[in-house]
Amino acid sequence: MNSTYNSVLTIAGSDSGGCAGIQADIKSISANGAFAASVITATTAQNTQGVFDIHPIPVSHIRKQLIAVLEDIDFGAIKIGMLHSAEVIETVKKTLKEYSVKNIVLDPVMIATSGDRLLNKTAVASLKSFLSDARLITPNIPEAEILIDKKIDSEKLGEAAQEIGETFKTSVLLKGGHLEDSEQMTDTLFLYDTQQVIFIHNPRIKTKNTHGTGCTLSSAIAAQLSLELTLEEAVINACSYLNEAITQGKDKTLGKGNGPVQHFPK
């Protein structure tokens, strides 16, 4: 008897260095037991030391990529990474609605590792209008502060995650990687349907090899959802996977800058 692939579509930019973006997404989805398809929104000249050039893919071609895969493949989840302009955001939003996709995991990429904003105010407004279409959004602390326009106190992560979720009518995984005042890594999950707040703890790993962790985590969650797990199970499993991937990649060397995680931990 034939069986069906558990498939995930990732919509994001390409990282020529292979640490983040589409490349990290495909590795993470594969490592978590699903089949990865992709729609590329931009290519970058990038390595472990930085991003040196970005070439946006024409919006008409992004839409054609989306239609091509959505017409043919039944996806158990959709992962969305960086959408670099309001026009791209609106095109992706419109096209996904046409196909009634399920289990959108949206990583609201707005700030570079350097701290620079990646989206202008118009694009941020478009992105905010898209968030309610997602089943889960995965902001880090700086991105979360943009979403609710306030500083987030490390003592009130649960309240912040809930405020974001209620504002945008979606579940939220508030990532704790920017909070370095603890030996524990705490990610905060707010489940919109049940109004639960769940704190997910993992050991904090000291390493510079964290390039692409946000892409890797959101893709792992999408893969777990495609396997028909609950949202809580999918997030907990993905956080555990990422922690092990960081642990096993912490002492490896790739290039001269910030290296990747070990996407296929043994």
pLDDT tens for each residue of 189-245: 999 999 999 999 999 899 999 999 999 999 999 999 999 999 999 999 999 999 999
pLDDT of residue 94: 97
pLDDT tens for each residue of 119-145: 888 999 999 999 999 999 999 999 999
175 is catalytic: yes
Active-site hit among 44, 48, 91, 210: 210
Active-site hit among 81, 212, 249, 259: 212
19 is catalytic: no
pLDDT tens for each residue of 58-89: 999 999 999 999 999 999 999 999 998 999 99
The order of strands in the sheet holding 184-191 is 50-56, 35-47, 7-15, 77-80, 104-106, 136-137, 171-174, 184-191, 196-203
Active-site hit among 95, 213, 239, 249: 213
Domain boundaries, the chain: 7-249
pLDDT range class, residue 100, cuts 50, 70, 90 = very high
pLDDT range class, residue 185, cuts 50, 70, 90 = confident
- Asked if residue 238 lies in contact with residue 217, where contact means CB atoms within 8 angstroms, the answer is yes
pLDDT of residue 113: 60
Instruction: Please give the Cα distance from 213 to 167 (Å, whole number).
Output: 26
Q: Which fold has domain 7-249?
A: UDP-N-acetylmuramoyl-L-alanine:D-glutamate ligase (3.40.1190)
Active-site hit among 27, 76, 215, 216: 215
214 is catalytic: yes
Active-site hit among 48, 175, 239, 249: 175
